[in-house]
Chain A
Amino acid sequence: MTLKTEPVTINLGPQHPSTHGVFRFRVTFDGEQIADIEPIFGYLHRGSEKLAEERTYAQVVTLTDRMDYVSSMLSNQAYILAVEKLCGIEPSPRGVWLRMIAAELQRIASHMVAIGFLLQDLGTWGTPLTYAMRERESVLEMFEMLCGARITNSYLRPGGVFMDAPVEFLPVLDSFLSALPHRIDELESYLTGNEIIFARTKGVAVLKPEIAINASLTGPMIRASGIDWDLRHRDPYDYYDRVSFKRPLHRAGDNFARYWVRMQEMRECITIIRQCVEQMEPGPVRPSHDDVPYLLRPPVGDAYVAIEGSKGELGFYLVSDGGISPYRCHVRAPSFINLTLLREMLIGTLMGDLFVSFGSVDLNMGEVDR
């Protein structure tokens, strides 16, 4: 006797515990196996690009905070670099070092979130998540010292940062940097050798490098597939050419590789921050208001600047018509573009792998929908 089966279509989301925001999958299951999947999003669309067209260049910084709200420093950085390129502003060295420190701290925080929620999707009842959040908390506290806010920082300004770090910042940073490797070791001894995690993530949702690069994936996604492409190394912006760091690579291209790459990248962030602190010298953190006024009027033209965000290549494309606000502000959002291959990654896997693979992409709905 053969049993007659038929595929079932289920909407997972928008209200689902592990959709990392407001996201909807329309999945067709054949038993437990995924036969077809269609991502549906836009629930968080706020029209940031349109809003940017009606704000001055200084005010748009606050919008970039809210695009990728777990790595807002990096969004700020990408936007500020685009404005600097558009206006031809020469940034102050101390400001650049400070924003590199802030960006790397933010990268640690963002990767912590990614790892924590990936493990949460694996069903650990929040234990790695709380450990990861605990480390992120230290970063956020430092952000509060730097700029008075924890998530929506708005710390960076064209030409540097808005204000020098307070005197008590560097000691706190130093103690954090010396404590963090032990915490990462602890997390790694907890997670990386864990047989269940290995069984759950290995060989699932494998991305071949050729396919990944053709689909414009960037960041940890392709470094996990064995492509040594890190914009900090290949196209150094700010002063990344003055620091040395390793680029962790994994060749498997599966969920475990993506987890592993993020884990190792956090260690590299520590070395980068240490080098920044060493090379930082006293001085102004932003050019004077005569050089960079509040109300910027860039010359007519356009500029595209991409940085290595925590999730991939984060680019801002600004078009100026000579006015006080951008004529067009386009964001090349890595979370959004990393979703391209979701269907290919997931078809044929089981239901349990769905959210794990989704979590390993590490996306942020604020950035996907913008």
Chain B
Amino acid sequence: MTQSWSGEKLAQAIEAFAAGATVTSNATDVWLEPSRIREVCQGLRDRPEFKFDLLSGVTVVDYIDHFEMVYHLTSLPMNARAVIKAKCGWGREEPTVPSVTPVWRGAELQEREVWDLMGVRFEGHPNHKRIVLWEGFPGHPLRKDFATYDQSLVPVENAN
């Protein structure tokens, strides 16, 4: 049975190697400082007490006034799961977080999807392009404030 890290314990363990990286935590989740995500993730992947080698998923939730990045991590050697989160984009400005693609290759497509549908920019992503929609699509459709776009804006020639 896969065990889940409790948020507090994980926060303590993260503080041990990256002081000040965690913002808050509860029984299940840890909230990180958005700018330090990659550093923490590197540690989570490499340090022997975590060994989170499988990034199950990257996603983002739009809470109107901010965005919340959610990373689901799995450790095969420890058979453990953990959830780390990060709040970013307060006030709906261009939300930006560091990309974890250098840590886990598996984040590549998922981060592109997040950028495409939610408009969260990932710094250091090797191929930061839209993935399911075409370049030039107006807006990011999974955001809560996305209104149906003007159909006349659809380019005849797919620019991709």
Residues of A within 8 A of B (CB): 40-42, 45, 47, 49-50, 211, 213-218, 227, 229, 231, 234-236, 241, 302, 304, 306, 313, 315, 317, 319, 327-328, 330, 332, 336-337, 339-341, 369
Q: Contact check, B131 vs A315: say whether CB atoms are below 8 A apart.
A: no
Q: Contact check, B106 vs A214: say whether CB atoms are below 8 A apart.
A: yes
Q: Contact check, B76 vs A229: say whether CB atoms are below 8 A apart.
A: yes
Given A49-B142, A328-B61, decide whether A216 and B54 contact each other with a Cβ distance below 8 A.
yes
Q: Contact check, A304 vs B83: say whether CB atoms are below 8 A apart.
A: yes
Closest residue to A342 on the B side, CB-wise?
B109
Task: Report how far A41 CA is from B160 CA in the complex, Å.
Answer: 10
Chain B residues positioned under 8 Å from A231 (CB to CB) = 2
Residues of B within 8 A of A (CB): 1-2, 53-57, 59, 61-62, 70, 72, 76, 79, 81, 83, 104-110, 113, 117, 131-134, 141-142, 160
A-B contact pairs, 8 of them (CB 8 A): A215-B105, A227-B76, A235-B2, A302-B61, A302-B70, A315-B72, A330-B57, A330-B70
Q: Contact check, A330 vs B56: say whether CB atoms are below 8 A apart.
A: no
- What's the minimum C-beta distance from B82 to chain A, rounded to whole angstroms? 11
Chain A residues positioned under 8 Å from B72 (CB to CB) = 304, 306, 315, 317, 332
Task: Report how far A19 CA is from B104 CA in the complex, Å.
Answer: 27
Given A234-B79, A235-B1, decide whether A211 and B62 contact each other with a Cβ distance below 8 A.
no
Of the listed residues B54, B70, B81, the one surrounded by the most CB atoms of chain A closer than 10 A to its CB is B54
Q: Contact check, A313 vs B76: say whether CB atoms are below 8 A apart.
A: no
Q: Contact check, B57 vs A42: say whether CB atoms are below 8 A apart.
A: no
Q: Which of B57, B61, B133 contacts A332 (CB 8 A)?
A: B57
- What's the minimum C-beta distance from A215 to chain B, rounded to whole angstroms? 4
Closest residue to A14 on the B side, CB-wise?
B158
Chain B residues positioned under 8 Å from A339 (CB to CB) = 109
